[in-house]
Amino acid sequence: MKFSNLLALGISLSLALSACVGATENGTNSDQPCNFPAIYNFGGSNSDTGGMSASFYPLPPPNGRTFFQRPVGRASDGRLVIDFIAEHLKLPHLSAYLNSLEANFAKGANFAALEATILGTWEGTYLQTGLSTFKLPHQVNVHFDQFKNRTIDLYNQGKHRDSLPKPEDFSRALYTLDIGHTDFTYGFRVIAEDQLRARMPEIVNSLTAHVEVLYDKGARSFWIQNARPVGCLPNTTISISDPKPGSLDQNGCLKSQNEIVTEFNKQLKDKVIELRTKLPEASITLVDVYTAEYDLISSANSHGFTDPLKICCGIHENAEYVKCGNRGIVNGKQVFADSCKNPEQYISWDGIHRTEAANQWIANRIVDGSLSDPPVPIAFACQKMKM
């Protein structure tokens, strides 16, 4: 046999061996990215790309000023973490399911809504509480269910195939969940901390139960972000005019609130471990956004950011508060709550939501898998790892 033929045979055998070694327990190759055809996102205001604006009221300027140069339904000056995730996976920004104008769902859909919660049992209407009507149970059991069934029906009729996903893409897509912080920010306002702590198992169980529902509907790859350090939100810290000694940590964050969120994240991690056994065909990645955001707050200056407890858009002086993009009365005068001139130097956009710069920093920290359990990059999140 000629040397060239022997060489070719050797290379072929080597490639075959590599493929066998690289195969994971669910039959995929660990050295090959997933090439997700679509993303389906469920969440609250941190990942809403226009659903709430389309449904109730459009977010006003200066929202969207940095990247989009106009309001586009995002509570930020620009892109959100979910936008950077889509870009990282070479997919377009997600259209909000509730937005009927200029929407394209070929590569996924976003079911998130501003002020959405995990629990569907918080009492009161939207006008009474400020909470979204489209809580996680509604996003999964109503909106996604209708979207999937209607999409398959239209696709099979040969209609709108250029703007709808292929039916087989639903099982191959990435399902992201970024929700929970509103359960805490609202909960801290309406019930005592010990009562909220007692409700944590209910919140955790609701979140993981809806992962199971999505699994039953064919979802297999999940990217679940844990809860943020809500005790560091400027809207929380600014409202405490006279904090009790020892109530704040070294970064000015409210310790008791962050301790409760940390306990929630621990319970969520334990529940995800159970889910991996219960859902044998699922790949479930739990992402520690809490650590990413708290690390940014702790080292803001070294990363080019100003005081992490300052807000870029809106006015919050003593007891007087004017929401970002709104008009109000401060010191007896009518004012417009505009944004700062340099949002790229701020972590907080409006006291609750992050700036594009902070979202990009956090996205860069999490997509590589270094803060994930298991430690898998998002591009490989369809693959199960032997633990």
- The answer to whether 4 is a known catalytic residue is no
Residue pair 228/295 in contact by the 8 Å Cβ criterion: no
**149-157 CB contacts, 8 Å cutoff, 24+ apart:** 151/105
- The answer to whether 181 is a known catalytic residue is no
Please tell me which residue in 45, 53, 132, 283 is annotated as part of the active site. 45
Please tell me which residue in 316, 353, 372, 373 is annotated as part of the active site. 353
- The answer to whether 303 is a known catalytic residue is no
Residues 6+ apart with CB under 8 A from 302: none
Please tell me which residue in 48, 169, 350, 373 is annotated as part of the active site. 350
Q: Catalogue the active-site residues.
A: 45, 350, 353
